[in-house]
Amino acid sequence: MDAPITPPIRTAADDREVVAGLLGRSPKGLFDVVVRDDAGVPVVIRNHPLLEDGRPMPTRFWLVGDDLRSWIGTLESTGGVRAAEADCDPVELADAHARYATERDAAIPEGHVGHRPSGGVGGTRQGVKCLHAHYAWFLAGGDDPVGRWVHARLKDLPTPKDPSGG
Protein backbone atom coordinates (compact mmCIF):
# COMPACT_ATOMS: atom_id res chain seq x y z
CA MET A 1 0.00 0.00 0.00
CA ASP A 2 1.34 3.45 -0.95
CA ALA A 3 1.88 5.99 1.78
CA PRO A 4 -0.37 9.05 1.50
CA ILE A 5 1.21 12.02 -0.18
CA THR A 6 1.50 14.96 2.15
CA PRO A 7 2.07 18.50 0.97
CA PRO A 8 5.48 19.99 1.69
CA ILE A 9 5.72 21.98 4.88
CA ARG A 10 6.29 25.62 4.03
CA THR A 11 8.26 27.87 6.29
CA ALA A 12 8.21 31.64 6.59
CA ALA A 13 11.68 31.65 5.00
CA ASP A 14 10.35 29.67 2.01
CA ASP A 15 7.46 32.10 1.63
CA ARG A 16 9.77 35.11 1.92
CA GLU A 17 11.95 33.73 -0.88
CA VAL A 18 8.96 32.95 -3.14
CA VAL A 19 7.36 36.35 -2.50
CA ALA A 20 10.67 38.09 -3.20
CA GLY A 21 10.80 36.27 -6.53
CA LEU A 22 7.23 37.26 -7.37
CA LEU A 23 7.84 40.91 -6.47
CA GLY A 24 11.30 41.07 -8.03
CA ARG A 25 12.66 42.43 -4.73
CA SER A 26 12.85 41.50 -1.09
CA PRO A 27 9.73 42.41 0.93
CA LYS A 28 10.41 45.40 3.18
CA GLY A 29 8.44 44.16 6.17
CA LEU A 30 6.96 41.19 7.94
CA PHE A 31 4.01 39.42 6.30
CA ASP A 32 2.09 36.21 6.22
CA VAL A 33 0.55 34.48 3.22
CA VAL A 34 -3.25 34.56 3.39
CA VAL A 35 -4.19 33.29 -0.10
CA ARG A 36 -2.38 30.64 -2.14
CA ASP A 37 -3.12 29.21 -5.56
CA ASP A 38 -3.82 25.52 -6.16
CA ALA A 39 -0.07 24.79 -6.25
CA GLY A 40 0.50 26.51 -2.91
CA VAL A 41 2.18 29.58 -4.41
CA PRO A 42 1.43 32.84 -2.56
CA VAL A 43 -1.22 35.04 -4.20
CA VAL A 44 -2.01 37.53 -1.40
CA ILE A 45 0.11 38.51 1.59
CA ARG A 46 -1.00 40.36 4.70
CA ASN A 47 1.59 42.93 5.74
CA HIS A 48 2.35 43.96 9.28
CA PRO A 49 1.23 47.62 9.61
CA LEU A 50 4.78 48.71 10.47
CA LEU A 51 7.91 48.02 8.49
CA GLU A 52 10.90 46.52 10.27
CA ASP A 53 12.40 50.02 10.68
CA GLY A 54 9.16 51.30 12.26
CA ARG A 55 7.84 53.24 9.25
CA PRO A 56 4.12 52.77 8.55
CA MET A 57 2.90 50.28 5.93
CA PRO A 58 -0.62 51.37 4.91
CA THR A 59 -1.16 48.49 2.46
CA ARG A 60 -2.32 45.63 4.66
CA PHE A 61 -3.09 43.19 1.84
CA TRP A 62 -0.77 42.92 -1.14
CA LEU A 63 -1.41 41.03 -4.37
CA VAL A 64 1.73 39.09 -5.29
CA GLY A 65 0.37 36.54 -7.81
CA ASP A 66 1.97 37.21 -11.21
CA ASP A 67 -1.02 36.50 -13.46
CA LEU A 68 -3.47 38.45 -11.34
CA ARG A 69 -1.13 41.43 -11.03
CA SER A 70 -0.77 41.48 -14.80
CA TRP A 71 -4.49 41.13 -15.51
CA ILE A 72 -5.39 43.84 -13.01
CA GLY A 73 -2.66 46.05 -14.48
CA THR A 74 -4.45 45.67 -17.81
CA LEU A 75 -7.72 46.75 -16.16
CA GLU A 76 -5.99 49.78 -14.62
CA SER A 77 -4.32 50.78 -17.88
CA THR A 78 -7.65 50.78 -19.70
CA GLY A 79 -9.43 53.14 -17.30
CA GLY A 80 -10.39 50.62 -14.63
CA VAL A 81 -9.68 52.86 -11.64
CA ARG A 82 -12.03 55.59 -12.90
CA ALA A 83 -14.63 53.05 -13.96
CA ALA A 84 -14.57 51.23 -10.61
CA GLU A 85 -14.90 54.50 -8.73
CA ALA A 86 -17.85 55.53 -10.93
CA ASP A 87 -19.58 52.14 -10.61
CA CYS A 88 -19.18 51.58 -6.86
CA ASP A 89 -21.45 53.20 -4.28
CA PRO A 90 -19.35 55.94 -2.60
CA VAL A 91 -20.93 55.28 0.81
CA GLU A 92 -20.14 51.57 0.59
CA LEU A 93 -16.61 52.41 -0.57
CA ALA A 94 -16.07 54.83 2.34
CA ASP A 95 -17.28 52.14 4.73
CA ALA A 96 -14.83 49.64 3.18
CA HIS A 97 -11.94 52.09 3.66
CA ALA A 98 -12.93 52.56 7.32
CA ARG A 99 -13.19 48.80 7.98
CA TYR A 100 -9.83 48.17 6.30
CA ALA A 101 -8.16 50.88 8.41
CA THR A 102 -9.71 49.50 11.58
CA GLU A 103 -8.46 45.98 10.81
CA ARG A 104 -4.97 47.25 9.96
CA ASP A 105 -4.77 49.53 12.99
CA ALA A 106 -5.80 46.70 15.33
CA ALA A 107 -2.53 44.95 14.41
CA ILE A 108 -0.35 47.88 15.53
CA PRO A 109 1.42 46.87 18.73
CA GLU A 110 0.00 48.42 21.88
CA GLY A 111 2.17 51.29 23.05
CA HIS A 112 3.55 52.10 19.58
CA VAL A 113 4.59 55.77 19.64
CA GLY A 114 5.89 56.34 16.11
CA HIS A 115 4.12 57.21 12.89
CA ARG A 116 1.06 55.15 12.06
CA PRO A 117 -0.34 54.10 8.70
CA SER A 118 -3.27 56.19 7.55
CA GLY A 119 -6.11 55.98 5.09
CA GLY A 120 -8.03 52.93 4.03
CA VAL A 121 -7.35 50.41 1.27
CA GLY A 122 -3.79 50.96 0.08
CA GLY A 123 -3.55 54.14 2.15
CA THR A 124 -6.36 55.84 0.22
CA ARG A 125 -8.59 58.14 2.24
CA GLN A 126 -11.41 58.20 -0.30
CA GLY A 127 -12.17 56.88 -3.76
CA VAL A 128 -10.07 54.32 -5.60
CA LYS A 129 -6.32 54.47 -6.11
CA CYS A 130 -5.20 50.89 -6.77
CA LEU A 131 -7.30 48.00 -8.03
CA HIS A 132 -4.58 45.57 -6.93
CA ALA A 133 -4.93 46.53 -3.25
CA HIS A 134 -8.72 46.30 -3.34
CA TYR A 135 -8.65 42.91 -5.04
CA ALA A 136 -6.04 41.55 -2.62
CA TRP A 137 -8.28 42.44 0.32
CA PHE A 138 -11.31 40.94 -1.45
CA LEU A 139 -9.44 37.65 -2.03
CA ALA A 140 -8.37 37.64 1.63
CA GLY A 141 -12.03 37.79 2.65
CA GLY A 142 -12.62 41.54 2.84
CA ASP A 143 -16.04 42.88 1.90
CA ASP A 144 -14.76 45.33 -0.70
CA PRO A 145 -17.03 46.72 -3.43
CA VAL A 146 -14.06 47.49 -5.69
CA GLY A 147 -12.71 43.97 -5.15
CA ARG A 148 -16.08 42.59 -6.25
CA TRP A 149 -16.04 44.93 -9.26
CA VAL A 150 -12.55 43.72 -10.25
CA HIS A 151 -13.52 40.08 -9.73
CA ALA A 152 -16.45 40.43 -12.12
CA ARG A 153 -14.23 41.96 -14.80
CA LEU A 154 -11.46 39.37 -14.53
CA LYS A 155 -13.86 36.82 -15.97
CA ASP A 156 -13.74 38.81 -19.24
CA LEU A 157 -9.95 38.56 -19.54
CA PRO A 158 -8.19 35.59 -21.16
CA THR A 159 -8.22 32.50 -18.90
CA PRO A 160 -7.99 34.18 -15.50
CA LYS A 161 -7.50 31.88 -12.55
CA ASP A 162 -9.94 32.36 -9.71
CA PRO A 163 -8.12 31.87 -6.42
CA SER A 164 -11.25 32.74 -4.44
CA GLY A 165 -13.02 29.66 -5.77
CA GLY A 166 -15.93 31.76 -7.06
* Residue 101: inside a domain: yes
* Residue 6: inside a domain: no
**Cα distances (Å, whole numbers) of residue 103 to 36, 75, 94, 108, 120:** 21, 27, 14, 10, 10
**Count of structural domains, the chain:** 1
Q: Is the pLDDT of residue 117 over 60?
A: yes
Task: Note the residue count of the chain.
Answer: 166
* Residue 7: inside a domain: no
Closest CA to 112 of 60, 61, 59, 51: 51
Burial of 18 from C-beta contacts in 10 A (0-12 / 13-18 / 19+) = middle
Q: What band does 160 get if pLDDT is binned at 50, 70 and 90?
A: very low
Q: pLDDT, tens digit, for every residue of 65-115?
A: 989 999 999 999 999 999 999 999 999 999 999 999 999 999 999 999 889
* Residue 37: inside a domain: yes
* pLDDT at position 165: 53
* pLDDT at position 10: 59
* pLDDT at position 58: 83
* Residue 4: inside a domain: no
Q: pLDDT, tens digit, for every residue of 21-72?
A: 999 999 989 999 999 998 999 999 999 999 988 899 989 999 999 899 999 9
Q: How far apart are CA 148 and CA 56, in angstroms?
A: 27
* Residue 76: inside a domain: yes
* Residue 122: inside a domain: yes
Q: What band does 141 get if pLDDT is binned at 50, 70 and 90?
A: very high
Q: What band does 145 get if pLDDT is binned at 50, 70 and 90?
A: very high
Burial of 85 from C-beta contacts in 10 A (0-12 / 13-18 / 19+) = middle
Q: What band does 126 get if pLDDT is binned at 50, 70 and 90?
A: confident
* Residue 64: inside a domain: yes
Q: Is the pLDDT of residue 159 over 60?
A: no
CB 109 within 8 A of CB 13: no
Q: What is the arrangement of strands in the sheet containing 61-63, beginning at the earlier edge strand?
A: 31-36, 42-47, 61-63
The residue segments making up the domain with residue 19 are 12-154
